[in-house]
Amino acid sequence: MELEKRSSGKEIVFVSAYDKYIQKSMLARPRFFICKVKLEKDLRDVVMFLKQQWQQRHASVQVAWKSGEVEIYPQRILWCESQGHYVDIHLDDGRKAVLRTSLSQLAALFSVFHYLRIHNRRMVNLKYVRRFEGNQVVLKDGTALRVSRGCQREVDKGIREWFESLYQQS
């Protein structure tokens, strides 16, 4: 009970060589229970998972807006489109921001947020994709974006990986 009170809002990972402690550890509601036999591999997996969770909740990008600076959260971006040396960022609330960067830099920055390049000038956030129809991606807001022939193989692979990750989380 003492551990449960002190752990409010914190992630707990129990490590033990004995399976019999799994049941007792549940009182503190640990996020993971790792057996010492596979400590190195399991601990690496847990750290990667927790890092992704933290990034999804806390990562943001500072974007210059017309009237000052506005925080743009990667998980709230529907899609991005490259326009020369700038990238148009389309947000889930209908706003649009312009950032002086390349789409490749944004793709690298947002790699943990399941973005997918569908064209050499466009990428979408898979979280907001409603469906894929032939060579088009339809977003939840109704926006239809064309998938280029050159990106089709990568799009198919990205969709498979996205659904596999959703399946593994449940």
| 42 φ/ψ angles, rounded to the nearest 5 degrees | -65, -40
pTM: 0.62
Say how far apart CA 161 and CA 151 lie, in whole Å: 15
Which residue type sits at 5? K
CATH of domain 61-169: 2.40.50.1020
Q: Which helix (H) or strand (E) holds 124?
A: strand 122-125
Q: Is it the case that residue 1 has pLDDT exceeding 50?
A: no
Query: Strands 129-133 and 136-139: what pairing?
Result: antiparallel
Say how far apart CA 44 and CA 134 lie, in whole Å: 39
Q: Where are the domains of the chain?
A: 2-58, 61-169
What local confidence, expressed as pLDDT, does residue 24 receive? Answer: 73
More confident residue, 56 or 83: 83
Q: Where are the alpha helices (DSSP H) in the chain?
A: 2-6, 21-25, 39-58, 103-109, 152-169
More confident residue, 18 or 131: 131
Span 21-41, average pLDDT: 76
What local confidence, expressed as pLDDT, does residue 64 receive? Answer: 55
63 confidence band (pLDDT: 50, 70, 90): low
pLDDT, averaged across the chain: 80
What local confidence, expressed as pLDDT, does residue 168 receive? Answer: 66
Span 7-14, average pLDDT: 66
